[in-house]
Amino acid sequence: MPLTRREFLKVTGVGLAAGSLGMLGFGASGVAQAAAVRPFKLAHTTETRNTCTYCSVACGILIYSMGDRAKNALSNIIHIEGDPDHPVNRGTLCPKGSALLDIVHAPTRLKAPRYRKPGGTEFEEVSWDFALDRIARLMKEDRDKHFITQNAAGTTVNRWTSTGMLAASASSNETAYLTWKVARSLGMVVFDNQARV
């Protein structure tokens, strides 16, 4: 027995007269239906699987956006819900996850690095180059000052406890591996990322 009844898949052009409607004497119904839909347009939505950004539980979510990615320039997220097929949460979301649509559209959402000068009162937008250079510089200074090579008993520990890192959820194995390597190779111990889960 063929598993796929491929013949069923080739139904294409809707031949009203030739189909069940026409042959049974209900052709007028088909014509009326075709006329009835003429004034209407199709609305396109895209459903996209993603992972909640909040915590390392990494619940599956379905994101609905207007338009299909191919045709429309405007693509606006209109709804987010739990993914019922995701084995972690089976469609459920916590209150934070349920409010994801609001952080997507929040006017205060952070979209670029911002910097407040020492003694300054306002944040200003800066370039990624500036931000990364500045972070690297401060990390280096802090590490040089506070790196602990040996504990009180004289055992070598090589730990850096004055700076911590909280990394993202929804990481792949590779991302988790690299995050781990970067943070631990600096001696950082105040550290959490999804590899823990």
In the complex, least distance from residue 55 CB atom to other proteins, rounded to whole angstroms: 16
Beta carbon nearer to other proteins, 14 or 132: 14
In the complex, least distance from residue 15 CB atom to other proteins, rounded to whole angstroms: 5
Two structure tokens written together for 155: 């055992």
Interactions with other proteins, residue window 44-73 (CB under 8 A): 44-49, 62, 64, 68-70
Interactions with other proteins, residue window 69-108 (CB under 8 A): 69-70, 81-85, 87-92
Which of 178, 184, 150 has its CA nearest to residue 164? Answer: 184
Q: Does position 187 bind other proteins by CB under 8 A?
A: no
How many binding residues for other proteins (CB under 8 A)? 60
Q: Are 58 and 88 in contact (CB under 8 A)?
A: yes
Beta carbon nearer to other proteins, 70 or 153: 70
Q: CA distances (Å), 68 to each of 52, 80, 133, in order?
A: 22, 16, 39
d(CA 49, CA 171): 15
Q: Does position 7 bind other proteins by CB under 8 A?
A: yes
In the complex, least distance from residue 192 CB atom to other proteins, rounded to whole angstroms: 22
d(CA 101, CA 79): 6
Which of 153, 163, 154 has its CA nearest to residue 184? Answer: 163
Mark the segment that binds other proteins (CB under 8 A) among 2-10, 119-127, 164-172, 186-194. 2-10
Q: Does position 6 bind other proteins by CB under 8 A?
A: yes
Give the DSSP H or E segment for 133. Answer: helix 128-146
Two structure tokens written together for 58: 């990494």
d(CA 175, CA 52): 16
In the complex, least distance from residue 82 CB atom to other proteins, rounded to whole angstroms: 7
Encoded one letter per residue, x for contact with other proteins by CB under 8 A and - for no contact, window 20-39 reads xx-xxxx-xxx-xxxxxx--
Q: CA distances (Å), 11 to each of 8, 26, 89, 129, in order?
A: 6, 20, 38, 56
- Which residues make up the interface to other proteins (CB under 8 A)? 1-21, 23-26, 28-30, 32-37, 40-49, 62, 64, 68-70, 81-85, 87-92
